[in-house]
Every structure is written in C-alpha cells, then in structure tokens.
Structure 1
Amino acid sequence: MRYCTSLETFPSVINLRSLKTLNFSDCSNLMKCPEIAKNIVYLNLKGTAIEELPKSTGHLSDLITLDLKDCKRISNLLESICLLKSLVTINLSGCSDITRIPNISGKVRFLYLSETTIEEIPSSIGSLSRLSCLDLTNCKRLKNLPCDVSKLASFEKLILSGCTRITRFPVVSSNIKKLLLDGTKIEEIPSSIEYCFELEELGLQNCTRFHILPSSFWNLVYASLDLKFRSGLAIKM
C-alpha cells in the first residue's frame, strides 16, 4: 500500500494467516495501524500519521523488521516490544516525539534513532550482544552514553554526529569500525583508542572543544583509516 497518500482508514483487523509483509510506507494520512496476525515478518509504517502501535505488535513473534521512520506523531513504544525475540532491525529515525526507548530484544542488529528526542540510552543496551549499528545522528537532547556500550562485542558502527550534548568520548569495544562524533562537545580522545584495531573511520569535524589527540592514536597504522577533524588540533606526545 506504499505511497497511497489518500488512504485514511483500513480494516481494524488483518487476520491473514499467510501474510508476511505489510507495507504502509508514506501513506501520510493513515492515522491508525490495524491489529495484525502474529505471522508478520516485515512491518513498514514509515511516514504515516499513526500515533501509536496496535497492541497486537507485542505478539509478533516472527517480526524481523519494524520501520517507523518519520512517524512524527508517535510518542511512545509498547513495552511489549522487548518480547519480540526475532527483531533484527528497528528504525525510529525522524520520530521527533520519541523521548525514550523500552528494553529491546537481544537479537537486534540495527538500531536507528536519529533525530529523536531521547535523552539517554538505557544501560540494558549492554545485553544486545548482536548489535552492529547504532545511529543517533542529531539527537540534540542525548547525553553521554552508558559504559555498558563497551560490552557490545559485535558493535561496528556508532554515529553520534550532531549530538551537541555529548561531552565524553564513548567507551566502545575494540571491534568498532566506524565512529562519527562530528559536532559533539568532546574535548579529547582517551589513549585506549589504540586498542580499536578495526577502526576504519573517525569523524571529528566541527568538534569545537576537541583539542587533544593522544600519541597512542598513531598506533592505528591501517592505511584505510579515514580521519576527519578540525584544524588547530594539538597532538599529545
């Protein structure tokens, strides 16, 4: 049903046992998502006008992808999302009324929260052993990340660009490959950066308070490292 911009209502219950994919993306006038049979694998509500998820969402045990990108009116997620053991991808980017996220299933690999109004990441994130990518671009109210992020052994990509309240360099696992901190208020990088052996890209553009790059950083000798930082940087020897 994607791009059906005139669609306003839909039957309140969809009980189709063989239905695996439900796509209402960019149905900008759709205000209510129907109750769904539990066999759904892919649910896309991107760009709709829904204000909340149906209660049946908590019973979608086979759901792999939940896409709510740019759902500007949705403000709260069901706590029962933590029961969705098959979830791999959650996209809440652009959900500007989302202020907090509930506990999430341990199978999630991709978590997109850019341009939300969340203020903190719960410490339970340390239990997401398969999390590979966390996108927090332009989360203006977000404060520093919990140390539990360092427990994420599969973590490869962290984007904090535009998070203007971030003041501390995040503690991440040595497997991190892409770390974007552009526009944050961090002041220095810890010497432990040398243990991020897989690091390929580090973004520090427009970090106006950043002034110290430790000498241990140069132990990262990979030719593929893409380092972007502001001018006037001091090198600590």
Structure 2
Amino acid sequence: MHDQLRDMGRPIVKLENLDAPGERSRLWSEEEVIDVLKNNKGTKKVRGINILDTIEIETEAFKSMTNLKLLDICDASLNGSFKYLSSELVWLRWQGCPLQYLLLDGFSHEKLVVLDLSNNNVKPHFPKLQSLHLDNYDNVERIPDCSLYPNLEMLMLADCQKLKELPDSLGSLAKLKDLDVGRCRELSRFPASMRRMRSLRYLRMASFSSLEELDATYCNLEGLNPDDFEKLSSLKKLSLFEIDFQGLPISLRGLSQLEMLIVCSKL
C-alpha cells in the first residue's frame, strides 16, 4: 500500500471507535497496540495489527481477535500457545522474534497466503502459500520439499549464506514466477527439474560466482539480466530457451569455464 493512501485511511479507521481502539479494524499506533494487547481489549472487529515494539506479549491476547487477517510483528516476543492466533490469517510477517518453531500448539494456517520470515530462524511448513520470504535465513542449508507449496508464485532466498542446494522438488512449483537466490554463495547448481518450471519469469542471481550449471530451458525467463552472466565465473553448462535477448550478451565472454551452451531466443 502506498504511504499516502495509508495515511489517508488511518483517520477514517480511528473514527470507527474513538474511545476503544480494540473495536477498530486496524491497529498500528504503538501506544494503542500495547494497551490492547497488554489488557486483552482486542475484539473480533480487529482485522489488521502492526506490532513494532520490543515487548513481551501473551498469545492469549489474540484469543478474541477471531477475524484477524493481517499480522505484522517485529522484535516482539510472544509467550504462550499459538492456538490463540486467528485461523483467518492471510498475511503474516514475523521478523526478529525469538522462536524456534511456528507450528506448535495447534496454530491453524490453512488460509495463509503470504508468509514473510525474513531475518528469522523459524522453520516454515505451509502448503498453501503463494509467497514465501526467507531472506537472510542464517541457518538454512536446504529448503523443505517444494511439493508442499503447490501454489507458490514467489520464493525469496536472497542472502541465505549457508544454502547449499535446492531440492529436485523445485520443479514441482508449476506456478512459481519469481525466484531470488542472490548472494547464496554456497549454492553451486540448480536441480535439473528446474526446466519444468514453465511459469518462471524472474530469476535473480546477483553475486552468484559458485554456480556451475544453469538449465532453465523451458522457464521463459523475462527477468534475467544478460549482464549478470559475467558474475557467473564458475558456470560450466548454460541452457536457456525463449530468452528475450537481441543476440548473445557480451557478458558471456567472462564465462571462462563454460563447456556447454544451449540458447534459443524468442522470435
């Protein structure tokens, strides 16, 4: 949402109930959020809440917020059972929270569409996601079976410094459009199944000097910058199909280790 549009809407939301913030559809003011959560003043009218303070919250404070759809948490610590989080959650961003696992105590996530766990150590396992953000996921060496995310359209893995491999099940993501593995320095190859990802349009690989093989034959990539090839100094095999290039990019000259090149551009 654009900041100006957000700022225009906030006075309207406040008019929903001037005296009781817990009776409004959106909560963002630090003072009001703390008051509602600390004193269990939340109601089923709350649909979106931003928690940006470094506070400790008892999860039972969410018990009455049964229609909560958007939850944005940064730096707060939650204590108690996750079963109190609304089963209506559609969008969840959880950054900097000291949690080991999110799937505890009956947390229901069937309607979750977007999960953003950037800069976190939570281990996700959500089968109906469309967008998964694991940027700066410090401890991950591999990601779970991708067949668990059949509706995934966006997978963000930038700066996962310990990520060593992508599973063969990556090819099962038939709806994936955007894949970001920029600055994943330990990652050296993509699985052969990647060629089945015919919806893939954007592939980001900045500072990806260890990659040895890239086979995106049927991925119809539109968001691959030809200049990025010069950063793939270890590449040995490159297979591309229907890439919108006007001839071969000059940056291919920097691929001194290249042994096999298969390219078919769009007509």
TM range (shorter): 0.7 to 0.9
Q: Whose RCO is larger (CA < 8 A, sep 6+)?
A: 1
Structure 1 residues 13-22 or 152-161, which shifts more? 13-22
For 1:155, the aligned partner's letter is L
Equivalent residue for 1:43? 71
- C-alpha separation in 2, matches of 1:31 and 1:205: 47
- 2:147 alignment partner in structure 1: 126
Q: Residues of 1 paired with 2:186 and 2:153: CA distance?
A: 23
- Whether 1:109 and 2:112 are equivalent positions in the alignment is no
Structure 1 stretches lacking a partner, 5+ long: none
Distance 1:195 1:66, change over 3 A: same
Structure 1 equivalent of residue 83 of structure 2: 56
Is the aligned partner of 1:21 residue 2:48?
A: yes
Instruction: Name 1:176's counterpart in structure 2.
Output: 200
Change in Cα spacing, 1:154 to 1:183, as seen in structure 2 (3 Å) is same
Distance in 1 of aligned mates of 2:81 and 2:87:
14
Q: What is the aligned counterpart of 1:232 among 235, 245, 254?
A: 254
Give the unaligned 5+ runs of structure 2.
1-26, 262-267
Alpha-carbon distance change, 104 to 183 in structure 1, aligned in 2, over 3 angstroms: same
Which whole-Å deviations, capped at 9, do the CAs of 1:140-196 have from their partners, x for residues lacking one?
A: 111211111111111000100111111112443121001112233211223xx2312
Aligned to 1:11: 38
> Whose Rg is larger?
2
Identity of aligned residues (%): 21
Per-residue CA deviations over 1:45-95 (Å, capped at 9, x if unaligned) read: 1x22326675235x52211001113x1533432246874111010011122
Distance of 2:116 and 2:188 partners within structure 1: 25
The answer to whether residue 162 in structure 2 is matched with residue 162 in structure 1 is no
Q: Deviations over 1:15-37 (max 9, x none)?
A: 5122211211x32x223254313
TM-score by length of 2: 0.69
2:224 aligned residue (202, 205, 208):
202
Amino acid aligned to 1:210:
S
- Residues 52, 77 of structure 1: 8 Å contact kept: no
Q: Give the distance between the partners of 1:129 and 1:157, measured in 2 at CA.
A: 14
Considering only aligned residues, what root-mean-square deviation do their CA atoms show, in Å? 3.3
Q: Distance in 2 between matches of 1:224 and 1:40?
A: 49
TM-score (norm 1): 0.77
Cα shift readout 1:121-154 (whole Å, capped 9, x = no counterpart): 111x213221100101101111211111111111
- Which of the numbers 143, 166, 169 marks the counterpart of 1:148? 169
Tell me the secondary structure at the aligned position of residue 189 of structure 1: strand
- Are the structure 2 counterparts of residues 12 and 129 from structure 1 closer, same or farther at C-alpha, using a change threshold of 3 Å? farther
One-letter amino acid of the structure 1 residue matched with residue 142 of structure 2: E
Q: How many residues align?
A: 221
Q: Distance in 2 between matches of 1:228 and 1:162?
A: 22
Aligned residue for 2:235?
211
| Whole-Å separation in 1 of the counterparts to 2:131 and 2:59 | 25
